[in-house]
């Protein structure tokens, strides 16, 4: 009987997996005096997906937001309200994987201010490479996001493991044949990673 092949490529989401404190929406809603659903709709109308895919600059996004809502932000909310904090156990898990010889990359939906903040803080340093939507021009859950990573890494879908906190992203990755796990807890993900790594 042939032994199961260890997964050679691990892809980790960042916000909601590696870090907490990344959600700026509650503070934005308070600043603009909007309920969460209305804010989400307004952000989408202003082009939040285009912003995440690097298609428009932040200044243009806020111009669109003001045109749609009549509200202009104080300062730069994307940066001002962004206070990520690392999950030490997840960083330790990624570090152990890399020291074992595994290839570990980040696959994240992000925008320029958040990407720049993570770079300044060294939050991406634990990874072999970072695949960020704002630089790739495509975002999850578009299948092209994972296809671009797999092509760059020279990996087949069935030889990749992906973890994310968003169900739609997990489902989209799984549909490509990637071993995909939704983050629920560090022990749960750690067990799944250990199994995928052949440990």
Give me the DSSP letters along 99-150. Answer: HTT-EEEEEE---HHHHHHHHHHTTTTTSSEEEEHHHHT--TTSHHHHHHHH
Question: Does one domain contain both 127 and 75?
Answer: no
Owning domain of residue 49: 25-80
60/96 same-domain check: no
Provide the pLDDT confidence category of residue 34 given band limits of 50, 70 and 90: very high
What is the pTM (predicted TM-score) of this model? 0.93
Q: What is the pLDDT of residues 174-184, one digit of tens each?
A: 999 999 999 99
Chain segment 74-110, per-residue pLDDT in tens: 999 999 999 999 999 999 999 999 999 999 999 999 9
Do 65 and 87 fall into the same domain? no
**What average pLDDT score do residues 17-26 get?**
96
What is the mean predicted confidence (pLDDT) over 26-34? 97
CA-based nearest residue to 45, from 62, 58, 33, 57: 62
pLDDT of residue 3: 39
What integer is the mean pLDDT of 44-63?
98
């Amino acid at each position: 009987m042939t032994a199961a092949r260890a997964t050679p490529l691990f892809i980790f989401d960042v916000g909601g997996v590696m870090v907490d404190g990344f959600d700026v929406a509650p503070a934005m809603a308070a600043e603009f005096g909007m309920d969460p659903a209305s804010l989400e709709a307004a952000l989408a109308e202003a082009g939040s997906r285009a912003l995440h895919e690097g298609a428009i600059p932040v200044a243009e996004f806020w111009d669109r937001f003001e045109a749609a809502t009549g509200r202009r932000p104080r300062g730069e909310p994307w940066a001002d309200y962004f206070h990520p904090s690392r999950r030490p156990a997840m960083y330790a898990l990624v570090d152990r994987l890399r020291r074992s010889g595994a290839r570990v990359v980040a696959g994240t939906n992000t925008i320029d201010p958040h990407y720049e903040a993570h770079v300044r803080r060294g939050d991406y340093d634990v990874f072999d490479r970072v695949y960020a939507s704002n630089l790739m021009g495509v975002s999850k859950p578009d299948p092209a996001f994972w296809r671009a990573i797999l092509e760059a890494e020279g990996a087949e879908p069935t030889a990749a493991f992906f973890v994310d906190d968003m169900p739609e992203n997990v489902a989209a990755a799984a549909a490509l044949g990637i071993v995909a796990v939704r983050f629920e807890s560090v022990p749960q993900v750690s067990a799944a990673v250990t199994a995928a790594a052949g440990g």
